Structure 1
């Protein structure tokens, strides 16, 4: 079979931001190789991310139940074999994906796996003999997997998803007027990369006071009550936490003028639609390769490296030395507000 018309199985089981970062690469594949069929295997929650891409199908991995453990992964392998895939791209490189990939290798399939650059990342975040330099981006690491399978690939900024059509539910939630829509995702998996809520509230207050923007708060269902006070206190602030399905949230995100996010999944969801994204960085750093796709580095806001010279101290935001607990506090609300205004004018 001609390599330009093969069926590629893509494995990326989690997490939301990492899955979203695969979109520009998959879009580049479908643009460059329109006859290639791609099946993405991931968790069912993430299916809406892929539903509008031609030649891309989705297969659910139920790793908590049906496909749990080695026997469950073997069952998943047998199911995926029936799809007549030709080669396998492991974009995850964790125990589960390695086991699944091993089954495919034993079955005679070519399997290529992402090199996560763990040694380089350790050098970037260590407190002694730190090597502070830009590492290869996760997008390029994903692209390298396809290149290893024989597909030459060049990513361009247009490799993003189209804006989605607003539904009646979303429109009735946000209303219609000429104000620009700013999404704010104030949470992250770890405290080390979460902007303090008191300072974020100041940012929201400043934005609300201008009377120029609609501010849409994003979070999980469990964040609904925490975000409610901002919705209740300030004009033009809308709390969508727990209100929409993930699919509906994607519609909302695709229609934003700008997303303000931590180093977290919402930044990547907005970037995969080509939206403007402003990110706030604490103990992590874009040099690790997790910067949102297509965003200029000037859109990033950093903690004070003069005051905290050991930054970055973590890849994921979960490790920091004593005295680095509050690095985010070194970023003033005025700096965040000014950056949003600046990027919206660009």
Structure 2
């Protein structure tokens, strides 16, 4: 989901730079709301668990896409499915460009020996390179974000009518290596709650509902939206936040694609890998202590770390997180 959200500024820049070009985004159905308000952009559902499953299903998808009179193909994913689909297009005589994920330099970044610790090309830049290869050079601008969405009656009732500023908190990630410890996160939530100045909105998936509900019950000014809204409705809430606190995860990119302020917490991953949220100042990233843990980063996705690196996030104090949120939201 984060990878898809990171395409938004690039597609917005394409539409801004080439207003006569039509773009069709092909992805899973639940991601359609991300693109529904971008001019000249349409969405085509890839039913990869149904009629487009497997090699023959992808050939069926290819034949369906051909009917849209597509001229060029931009593979922004470069995984097995998109590679197979790309082969069909190439055999059909289409020009196709694929993202260079920079696997070699990313491996060098996370090596425990002979580490090359340097900023790599961002994912946004890698996406832009694909379009440039197709003949459409673009220059990203900070304004290449989505517009704030209008609140529905359901969402307004959920939030309430006080005038407090809204802080979104997405405290979980796919892997433990980039998830802030729950006890420390609760301390952050408690400190924000005690100010009585902010409305704290918790975001998470079905598996997170129990933990988030516990924090909602224990602390004032805290509401949990997990499981209460559709993805489209959650996007609406995110687009109206004053700031989002997130791990190195999809919610950071969803907030950034709306131009919201984002504070991120990083464990065994690092912004140098190129996945920093779009348009955010570098000082909004809170990083684990590399003096104490010199092998950081040890993973691109947060799923790998050497023995003794299980608790690197504990070096980021709740006070530091609280201070950064207040600094950013009040700036």
CA–CA distance in structure 1, aligned partners of residues 92 and 195 of structure 2: 62
CA–CA distance in structure 2, aligned partners of residues 152 and 125 of structure 1: 31
TM-score (norm 2): 0.99
Q: Which residue in the other structure is 1:23 paired with?
A: 8
Q: Is the 8 A contact 1:281 1:301 kept in 2?
A: yes
- Note the residue ranges of structure 1 that are not aligned, 5 or more in a row: 1-15
Is the counterpart of residue 90 in structure 1 residue 69 in structure 2? no
1:231 is displaced (CA, Å) by 0.4
CA–CA distance in structure 1, aligned partners of residues 282 and 313 of structure 2: 18
Q: Which residue in the other structure is 1:315 paired with?
A: 300
1:345 is displaced (CA, Å) by 2.1
Q: Which residue in the other structure is 1:32 paired with?
A: 17
1:226 is displaced (CA, Å) by 1.5
Is the counterpart of residue 111 in structure 1 residue 106 in structure 2? no
Q: Which residue in the other structure is 1:243 paired with?
A: 228
CA–CA distance in structure 2, aligned partners of residues 226 and 203 of structure 1: 15
Is the counterpart of residue 126 in structure 1 residue 111 in structure 2? yes
1:254 is displaced (CA, Å) by 0.1
Q: Which residue in the other structure is 1:150 paired with?
A: 135
Q: Which residue in the other structure is 1:178 paired with?
A: 163
- 1:1-346 pair list within 5 angstroms: 16-346=1-331
CA–CA distance in structure 1, aligned partners of residues 313 and 88 of structure 2: 44
CA–CA distance in structure 1, aligned partners of residues 161 and 248 of structure 2: 30
TM-score (norm 1): 0.95
CA–CA distance in structure 2, aligned partners of residues 222 and 137 of structure 1: 31
**RMSD of the TM alignment (CA)?**
0.5
- Between the two proteins, the alignment pairs up a number of residues equal to 331
CA–CA distance in structure 2, aligned partners of residues 216 and 294 of structure 1: 22
CA–CA distance in structure 1, aligned partners of residues 229 and 210 of structure 2: 15
1:344 is displaced (CA, Å) by 1.1
Query: Secondary structure of 1:45's partner?
Result: helix
Q: Which residue in the other structure is 1:7 paired with?
A: none
